[in-house]
Structures are given as structure tokens and as C-alpha cells.
Amino acid sequence: FHQLILALEKEKALNRTSESFLRASQIRKSLLDNFALYDTLVKSIKALPARSPCMKRLQTNICAASNIYLQQNMLPLQMLPRILKEKPERKQLKQQLETYLEQTRLVEGFIRDAEREGKYDDVKTLKASLDELHGEIENLRAKLD
């Protein structure tokens, strides 16, 4: 994933090929879907009953580690190009809107977790990402209207 971003940055300077950007867009969507599934699994682990304080601590540590992992790996997704055809179809726009809305929900969850843990630097970064997502969502909704 990170190698693809670097390759696209180099390619951007040389030549933009729609095939590589389309592939990047597909990978981006796949990653978002997988991150959403990962987040759901972590929440189910957190919801399991803890039989001892040690188990509760383990669940908390798993949640904290997964939140850090998702925060670190979702932010680079914004570097990937958001490919739109010149005349995008309504279905594609709706799909992209759903992807952004899902990413927004995930980032909002990360913000709540970071605030709860007192990680204010992370909160600031995540809120900037959330603002960008809201801007993209507004643009897509305007195109759909």
C-alpha cells in the first residue's frame, strides 16, 4: 500500500496513467472496507465479558493498539488519488459517497477514542482529516443533486 503511494507520486511527476490510478482507487476502497471490518471485530472483542481484571486490561490494550494501527494507516489513504471520470455515473458517485461516509464514521470513532485517552495531538490531526472528508462529502452531494 505504502509502496503504491510512493509509485504514484513518482508517476505523477512523469506521466499519469489511468490504469494505475484506477488500481489505486480500488485498493483504497478495499482498504476502507477492511478497516471497517477490523474496527467491527475490535469492538466485538471489547464487548466480550471480562472474567478477570487481567482479561479486561488485555481487551483494553487490544483496543488501544488497534486504534493506533487504524489511525496510522487510514491517514495515508487521503494521499491516494480520488479518481472521478469526466462524467461520473450516479451509481459511482453514490458508492464513493458511502465510502466517505463510512470513513467519516471511523474517524469520528478514532477521535472519541483519542479524546478519551487524552491524545490531543492525534485528535487535532484526526479532526483535520474529518474536515477534509466533510468537504469531499459536500462536493459529492452537490454533484448528486
Local confidence band at 13 (pLDDT 50, 70, 90 cut-offs): very low
pLDDT for 101-144, tens place per residue? 999 999 999 999 989 999 888 889 899 899 999 999 999 898 88
pTM over the 0.85 mark: no
Grid cell, residue 97, equals 459517497
Grid cell, residue 144, equals 448528486
| Phi, psi for 122 (deg, rounded to 5) | -65, -40
How many H helices and E strands in the chain?
5, 0
- With a cut of 50, say whether residue 69 has pLDDT above it: yes
- With a cut of 90, say whether residue 44 has pLDDT above it: yes
pLDDT for 23-33, tens place per residue? 777 777 888 88
